[in-house]
Amino acid sequence: MGNPVDSQVEFYLKQAQQFSRARIYDEAIAQLDRLLQHQPSSYVAWFERGKAYYGLRQYDRTIESLKEALLLKADYEPAWNLQGLSLAQLDRYAEAIFSYDSVISLRPTNYKAWYNRANALLRLESTYEALHSYEETLKLKPNYTKAWYNRGIVLTHLKRFEDAIESYNQALNIRPHFSAAHYNQGNLFCHLERYKEALKSYEQVLAIRPDLYEVWYNYANVLYRLGWHEGAIESYNQALRLNPENDQVWHSRSIVLNRIRQQKDAIARFDT
């Protein structure tokens, strides 16, 4: 006959995991607290408790539970990873990096740990180190769209604009409707004065997200630079329908209207 204490512990754990999967985190924690009264040395229970608190966005309590799990099992990779994510949520990025480094030391092929490490380094503006971690991520998982996208952001910070465009291309090859990648790519084309390519990128965004006023605004600015003033006005109008209080859009629109009037006056004087 099995040990009744072990059976009770197993019951509490299964109940807690079911509640967590259903996102009923308070009940999951209650079950885990009962389990830990019977078996305080269960590192899995402490980890599951941390996961439940993470689901509740109570990150300090998450970290408290994960520390208990790691005291019991220092090489428990999932606890290190979740601790890193929790610390990052609290803007404690240097500590988060230590947690991700612990994951990587246990399993160097954990691409998510490399990716999370890169994100934390990016937050700390350690751009070269972040780039290295994104590239390690992509060696392990070449089709990781978010890593290609974030790599593009880092390369833009480093003013490696052509490389950034190529990184966004890689993201878009995997996920063609990734509107943020199209948008960032459009901004880079605009910065490089490759205006027709910028238009195509902004059009891709607007086909997916026509409700973004800032894209209509940038689209209008590019049309203006290409001398397509009527189209620019139409796009500024669309931006203002979405965000009528934006002074910058009103100002840019007035500049283009003045330019159109000047052109009409010049044509009228030429005809007379």
What SS3 state is found at 42? Answer: coil
- Each of the 272 residues of the chain gets a pLDDT tens digit; together they read 344 447 888 899 999 999 999 999 999 999 999 999 999 999 999 999 999 999 999 999 999 999 999 999 999 999 999 999 999 999 999 999 999 999 999 999 999 999 999 999 999 999 999 999 999 999 999 999 999 999 999 999 999 999 999 999 999 999 999 999 999 999 999 999 999 999 999 999 999 999 999 999 999 999 999 999 999 999 999 999 999 999 999 999 999 998 887 665 545 555 55
Residue 8 is predicted with a pLDDT of: 84
Residue 7 is predicted with a pLDDT of: 80
Q: Are 17 and 28 in contact (CB under 8 A)?
A: yes
How far is it, in rounded angstroms, from Cα 139 to Cα 148? 11
Tokens of 104: 């990587």
Residue 2 is predicted with a pLDDT of: 42
How far is it, in rounded angstroms, from Cα 118 to Cα 96? 11
232 closest CA partner among 216, 219, 250, 220: 220
Residue 268 is predicted with a pLDDT of: 53
Residue 70 is predicted with a pLDDT of: 98
How many residues are there in the chain? 272
Residue-wise pLDDT tens digits, 210-250: 999 999 999 999 999 999 999 999 999 999 999 999 999 99
Question: What is the model's pTM?
Answer: 0.88
How far is it, in rounded angstroms, from Cα 181 to Cα 265? 42
How far is it, in rounded angstroms, from Cα 247 to Cα 207? 25
